[in-house]
Structure 1
């Protein structure tokens, strides 16, 4: 039986580019190390924040390889690397899973194809994920994110049916549906099928409902804050965890109003001394000089001060 990833804090890492859109390897490595030093359990390469759809197959492999090599070379062999392997065909998704294994990932995270939503019946969704899981040489997780899959939102019955597959070991729920999360956590032990909240504003609520943690974009900016909240909860300090959760809720909302992936990169590069705001089109970069004009940025600045104090 394949193993689920351990509980904890996971980050769908952004990928930094030079002005010509080539990989900025020193910045990517600096980001990986700051996240690892901040206490993350694992790094998701090519989640929705990793611009996977903007990369060639060779670039996708290189990003995974670079992440694993950087962690191993700096004493973080215990930090997992999960690879996003979503694609629009079953054939390509299978290949990306093999590539991920070859590049050093321990698990893959798979989106439901979305080019032809009318074709994606429940039967077809089940068939796709099962065929991928049959072919993948490493354990598979289901990625449910309606925003990037043309509105497809897998319900708890569908995900539970997939969880019965011996090579499907977890899910990331970016849909924000706490009822769905709780139904799944009460049906499967986390050691068999790990259920992760896909957003930081549901971290503590998810933990109370039995989740295995979070895989959230805001961790790119605040890994230590997330690790501190997780530690508080594990120690039984639920009241303190919820107080910190309130701050994370506001920060999660704020970062979403600053520009998505471009906003995350700009905030990181402005506050932590590496990288640039460059994104690949059609995404839009966020001007660092305009951050303070955004009314939501003050919330992020307050949380970054907390991050640096930990």
Structure 2
């Protein structure tokens, strides 16, 4: 029986591309920058992040070829092994809606060194999708996948297809489906999955995709978060998780986690507003890694407004950076 990823904080890492200044820069499809990918991944592992999601929505999975997918995954895995992070959890995203191609990507992910797959809910035929069709689609993928998979429910990139709690209850019984990432704001749905007594939560872990929800969803059984802002404030989000899972926190710890959740939630609005573009901007400005304009078309440029827009967030970012530097 497959086991889910260990509880904690995971980061959906962006895929880094070479700078415009590089000799091999291509404005249509800049080559992947494995060196920066590795540097960012090691920075996160050394900061207490429990594992990585590579090639998810933040990682622009739909913009990469299968060859590039393998290069990114295997490059990070080899670096982890070399630097003493043996068996460090890597979850590889898939973003195709063809079952056969999804399974091929999962096979490639295993070959590259990933232990899990994060499989996006198919959403092209949103109007005609049924819960039974979703169950059959994921069952078919899980039956054929060489690695355990998690269901990736992100209505914002799946044409607003909804997966209801009863569907998760059914799919959680599959021996090769070990969890889910819920990237939406419906805490009631989180509760109906993470607290469902009919689900064996030792075999099926529920992760939120939003650090904004970390404290409340952990209290209803979530295993942690796969959070974009942890890509540039890793220690702060890990600290929030550690405080959130305490069963008998002191009064000081209650106050600390509420204030820290406020600061994380406020900064996370940058991620909600600008997605991977905002994440890359923050990683570049705060951690000096990558190029804020390092995306692939149709994504183009950094955050709209550049320095002027960044300045609007500065007070919130400085407040969380103060926490980060304490840890």
TM over 0.5, shorter chain? yes
Residue 41 (structure 1) aligns with = 50
Alignment of 1:238-257 (within 5 A): 239=254, 240-257=256-273
Partner in structure 1 of residue 109 of structure 2 = 100
What are the superposed Cα offsets for residues 85-136 of structure 1, whole Å, 9 maximum, x if unpaired? 2312111111111111111111101112222223422221111100000000
Q: For 2:245 and 2:309, locate their aligned partners in 1 and report how far apart those are by CA, in whole Å.
A: 38
CA distance in 2 between counterparts of 1:225 and 1:78 reads 24
The residue number in structure 2 matching 1:280 is 296
More displaced stretch, 49-58 vs 113-122: 113-122
**In structure 1, C-alpha distance between the alignment counterparts of 2:230 and 2:280, rounded to whole Å:** 12
Matched, 1:112 2:127: no
1:134 and 2:136 aligned: no
Q: How far apart, in 2, do the equivalents of 1:285 and 1:305 lie?
A: 28
Give the SS at the match of 1:190. coil
1:291 is aligned to 2:302: no
CA distance in 1, matches of 2:309, 2:146: 48
CA–CA distance in 2 between the matches of 1:189 and 1:252?
31
In the superposition, relative to structure 1, how do residues 161 and 189 fare at CA in structure 2: closer, same or farther (>3 Å)?
Answer: closer
Distance 2:319 2:148 in 1: 38
Cα distance, 1:177 vs structure 2: 1.6
User: Counterparts of 1:144 and 1:61 in 2: how far apart (Å)?
Assistant: 24
Cα 1:307–1:87 change in 2 (3 A) is same
CA RMSD of aligned residues (A): 1.7
Structure 1: stretches of 5+ with no match in the other structure: none
Matches of 1:75 and 1:256, distance apart in 2: 34
Once the two structures are overlaid, the 10-residue window that deviates more, 32-41 or 119-128, is: 119-128
Q: Report the equivalent of 2:284.
A: 269
Q: Distance in 1 between matches of 2:149 and 2:324?
A: 32
> For residue 223 of structure 2, what is the aligned residue in structure 1?
212
Are the aligned partners of 2:10 and 2:52 in contact in 1 as well (CA < 8 Å)? yes
Distance 1:200 1:292 in 2: 25
Provide TM-score, normalisation by structure 2.
Answer: 0.90
Q: Work out whether 1:176 is the aligned partner of 2:193.
A: no
User: Gaps (5+ residues) in structure 2?
Assistant: none
